[in-house]
Amino acid sequence: MKRRFQFVPVLIFIILFLLLSWYAIGGLQTVTQEPAVSIVFWTTTIISLTALFFAIQGMQSRGMGSFFKIATHIFLVLFVSELLFVVILLLDDAYRFLAGIVHLIFQHQFLIPSRNNYWIDFGIAVFLISVILFIYGMLKGKYAYRVINHTLYFKDLPSAFDGFTITQISDVHAGSFTNPTAVQKGIDMINAQQSDLFVFTGDLVNNKAEEIKPWIKHFSQIKAPFGQFSVLGNHDYGDYVKWENELIKKGNLEQLKKYHGELGFRLLLDEHVELFKDGQKIVLAGIENWGLGFGERGDLAKALRDTSISDFKILLSHDPSHWEAQVKNNPSPIHLSLAGHTHGMQFGIEAFGIKWSPVKFRYKHWAGIKEENGRVLNVNRGFGFIGFSGRVGIWPEITVITLKKS
C-alpha cells in the first residue's frame, strides 16, 4: 500500500524554516541594507525549499535519484549553515535582552542595546566556513579514511594472544560509493595494518545485494592470518526498499550472504568460532542484527551456545544498543564487543578535546571505546556513508585493536 504524502508535517517544517530564514536575514540587515543581499538570500531559500518539497513528494515514485540527492544536499548545507548563524544571533540577542533587564533594574528603563556588528560578522564567517566544510565533506571527506588504534588490557586474556591485533571496519554501504580509486586507498590502508584478524560489523549495502558486486574485487583483497569474519547490519536485510514479494526479498538476502563468501568473509549468523594459537583459544561470536528500533533478530544465547564462562570472548554485533541491552551484564562475560551502525551521523566535532555529534541524542555511546562492568565496547565510525553523501568532522574509520594481557 502506497503511503500518503504527509502534507501537514511538511507544511509545519516549511513554516519553521521560513521563520528561521526571516530571523537570519534580520541579522544580515544589521550590517547591510543592500536590497540585492535580501533578494539573493530569499531567492536561494525559496528555490532550495521548493526543490526539497518536490524531491520528497516524488521520492516514492521516482526513488532517490539524482534530483533527490542534489535537492536534499543543497538544502542540508544551507539549513545547517543558516542554523549555526542563527544560534550566534540568538546568543547576541540573549545578551542584549539581559543588558536591557539590567538597565531596567538600575535605570528604571528597559533599553535594549543595538546588535553588535562583531557578532554578526562572526556569524557570517561561521556560515561561510560551514558551507566550505560541507562542500569538502562531499568531495573529499567521505573518503578521508583514518586509522584509529586502541590498546586494550584484559587480565584473563590467554597469554598466547598477548599482542594479538584486530582490524575492524563497519558500514561499508557499497551502494553509495562512486570513486573506485578512493575506495582502493582505504583497502590498501586496511591491509597495511597487517593485523592477525579482520572483522566487518555489518551494513555491507544500502538496500540490495547487487550493490556490492562492483566492489568485490576491492574488498576481496583483504586478508588476515586468522581469517576475515563478518556479520549483518540492519540495511543488509532489505527492509528499506519496496519488493515485489517476500520471496524476492528473501532471495536478495541469500544472495548477499553468498557475496560475503565471495569477499572471503566468514559470515557469523548467531554462531561462534574458536581461534587457536599455541594451544590456547579465544572465542569469536557474531549475531544477526539486534538493535532497538532496527530489528531485534540476533540470538545471543544461540551464538554463545557451548561456550564457557571462562572463555575469552569477542562479539561482533552491528548495533551498539545491543551491548547496552544484553551484553554488558550478560552472565557469561563477553570481554570485547565490536559494533558500528551510528556513523557518528557523518557530522560532528572531534577536535581540541571536544567530541560531539547529533547522534549522541539517540545513542549513549556512539563512537570509540567504552568500558563498563569489566566489558569493553568499540563503536566504529563506519567505512562508508549513506543519506548524506559526505562526512564533516566524523571521518571514515579503520580501527586497529591490540589485545594485551594485564
CATH code where residue 390 lies: 3.60.21.10
Q: Which of 59-68, 121-130, 183-192 has the highest mean pLDDT?
A: 183-192
**Is position 28 within any domain?**
yes
Question: What share of the chain has pLDDT > 90, as a percent?
Answer: 75
Among the candidates 88, 107, 139, a domain finishes at 139
* pLDDT above 70 for 65: no
Residues 193 and 278 in one domain: yes
**Is position 56 within any domain?**
yes
Compute the half-sphere exposure of residue 232: CA atoms within 13 Å on the CB side of its CA.
31
Domain coverage including residue 293: 145-405
Phi and psi at residue 288, to the nearest 5°: -65, 165
CA distances from 204 to 88, 237, 362 (A): 40, 10, 22
Residues 153 and 117 in one domain: no
pLDDT at 88: 94
Three cell numbers written together for 358: 547529533
Residues 355 and 334 in one domain: yes
Residues 129 and 169 in one domain: no
Residues 233 and 330 in one domain: yes
| Cβ–Cβ < 8 Å for 24, 120 | no
**Is position 333 within any domain?**
yes
Among the candidates 81, 113, 139, a domain finishes at 139
pLDDT at 2: 42
Residues 51 and 158 in one domain: no
pLDDT tens column, 73-97: 888 898 899 999 999 999 999 999 9
Question: What share of the chain has pLDDT > 70, as a percent?
Answer: 96
CA distance 202 to 341: 8
Residues 134 and 156 in one domain: no
**Is position 222 within any domain?**
yes
**Is position 2 within any domain?**
no
Residues 317 and 339 in one domain: yes
Give 7's pLDDT tier (boundaries 50, 70, 90): low
pLDDT tens column, 139-166: 999 999 999 999 999 999 999 999 999 9
Higher pLDDT, 302 or 108: 302
Residues 217 and 319 in one domain: yes
Residues 113 and 185 in one domain: no
Phi and psi at residue 101, to the nearest 5°: -65, -45
pLDDT at 109: 86
pLDDT tens column, 262-291: 999 999 999 999 999 999 999 999 999 999
Q: Work out the average pLDDT over 301-318.
A: 97
* pLDDT above 80 for 39: yes
Among the candidates 139, 171, 202, a domain finishes at 139
**Is position 65 within any domain?**
yes
Q: Work out the average pLDDT over 325-329.
A: 95
If one counts the domains in the chain, the total is: 2
Residues 162 and 43 in one domain: no
- pTM, full prediction: 0.87
**Is position 249 within any domain?**
yes
Q: Which of 144, 173, 169 is nearest to 399 (CA)?
A: 169
Residues 29 and 127 in one domain: yes
Give 60's pLDDT tier (boundaries 50, 70, 90): low
**Close Cβ partners of 69 (under 8 Å, ≥ 6 residues apart):** 389
Mean model confidence pLDDT for the chain:
92
Q: Work out the average pLDDT over 58-74.
A: 71
Three cell numbers written together for 113: 542595546
